[in-house]
Amino acid sequence: MLEIRFHGRGGQGAVTSAELLAQAAIAEGRYAQAFPSFGPERRGAPVLAFARIDDHPIRLRQQIYEPDVAMVLEEALMKIVDVEAGMDERGLIIVNTMHTAAELRERYHLKPARRIWTVDASRIALEGLGRPITNTTMLGALINATQCVRLDSMKAPLDARFGKIAEKNFNVLKRAHDECCAGEAR
C-alpha cells in the first residue's frame, strides 16, 4: 500500500489533488482512498490531505501517520511544517520549488538519506494555466517518481472535474512528469 500526504495551503487544492489521484487509481481497477484532514480549513493556512492506493481492498480508516510520500505544494510551507513527520528513511518528498534537492536538504535540515524530487510546478502552472495553482501539476511529478497510476489514467478524473480546462490541466501535469528532477540532480 502506498500512503501519500499532501501539504498545501487552504485554497491551493491539496484535497482535490488527493481526490483526483484516488479516482484515477480506482478507474484502473485498483483500490484507493482520499480524504482531507478533518480540521477547520482557512484560506492560506497550512492544510493536509491524504491518499492511499493499494492492489487490495483497503480497510484501514485511521489517519495516515507514516506516509511513504509527502507532496509539498509550496516550498515555503517547509519553514513552518515538518513535512518529514512520521516518515521512515525510505520516505520520499516531492517539492514544488525553484531550488535543487541539495539546496532544500541544507536549507530545511532534511535527513541525509531522504529521497527528494523537485519540480518547478509554479512556473509550469503559470505558463500552462495562467495561475500558480499547482495541485494538478504536482501529480505529474508524483506519477513519475512512484508510478502509482498511469499518466493517461488522470485524463478522465480531470475531465470530470475541470471540463473545458481539463486538457490544460493534463498538459501541465504531463510537463511536470517530464521535467521533474530526481534526488540530487537538477
Partner 1 sequence: MKNRIEVGKPVGIEVSIAQSEVVAQCDVDVIAAYPITPQTHIVEHLAEIVADGDLDAAFIPVESEHSAMSACVGSSAVGARTFTATCSQGLALMHEILYIASGLRLPIVMSCVNRALSAPINIWGDQSDIMAERDTGWVQIFTENGQEVVDQTICAFRIAEDRRVMLPVIVNLDGFSMSHVIEPIRFYDTKQVRGFVGVYQPPLRLDPAQPMMFGPVGIPEIYTEAKKANDVALIESRQVIEEVWAAFAREFGNAYRALETYRTDDAEYLLLTVGGMSETASVAIDALREQGVKVGQVKLRLWRPFPHDDLAALLGKARGVFVFDRCLSTAGPGGPVASEVKTSLYNLRERPLVVGFIGGLGGRDVTVQQFADMVHKGIGYVAAGAAPVYEMVGVRE
Q: Does 119 bind partner 1 (CB under 8 A)?
A: no
- Please state the closest distance from residue 13 (CB atom) to partner 1, in A: 14
Residue 11's identity, in one-letter code, is: G
Q: Which of 6, 13, 5 is nearest to 161 (CA)?
A: 13
Cα–Cα dist 49/4, whole Å: 8
- Please state the closest distance from residue 19 (CB atom) to partner 1, in A: 5
Q: Does 14 bind partner 1 (CB under 8 A)?
A: no
- Please state the closest distance from residue 24 (CB atom) to partner 1, in A: 8
Residue of the chain from 2, 4, 22, 121 that contacts partner 1 (CB under 8 A)? 22
Please give the backbone phi and psi of residue 158, each rounded to the nearest 5 degrees, phi first.
-65, -40
Residue of the chain from 2, 4, 25, 145 that contacts partner 1 (CB under 8 A)? 25
Q: What is the DSSP string of 32-97?
A: EEEEE--S---BTSEEEEEEEEESS-----SPPSS-SEEEES-GGGGGTS-TTTT--TT-EEEEE-
- Please state the closest distance from residue 73 (CB atom) to partner 1, in A: 18
Residue 27's identity, in one-letter code, is: A
Q: Does 19 bind partner 1 (CB under 8 A)?
A: yes
**Window 145 to 174, contacts with partner 1 (CB under 8 A):** 157
Q: Does 27 bind partner 1 (CB under 8 A)?
A: yes
Binding flags for partner 1, 45-74, as an x/- string (CB under 8 A): -------------xxxxxx-x---------
Q: Which of 42, 118, 114, 36 is nearest to 75 (CA)?
A: 118
Please give the backbone phi and psi of residue 21, each rounded to the nearest 5 degrees, phi first.
-65, -45
Q: Which stretch binds partner 1 (CB under 8 A): 32-40, 78-86, 104-112, 133-141?
A: 32-40
Burial of 112 (0-12, 13-18, 19+ CB in 10 A): exposed
Q: Which stretch binds partner 1 (CB under 8 A): 17-25, 69-77, 107-115, 161-169?
A: 17-25
Please give the backbone phi and psi of residue 47, each rounded to the nearest 5 degrees, phi first.
-130, 165
Size of the site for partner 1 (CB under 8 A): 24
Binding site for partner 1 (CB under 8 A): 18-19, 22-27, 29, 31-36, 38, 58-63, 65, 157
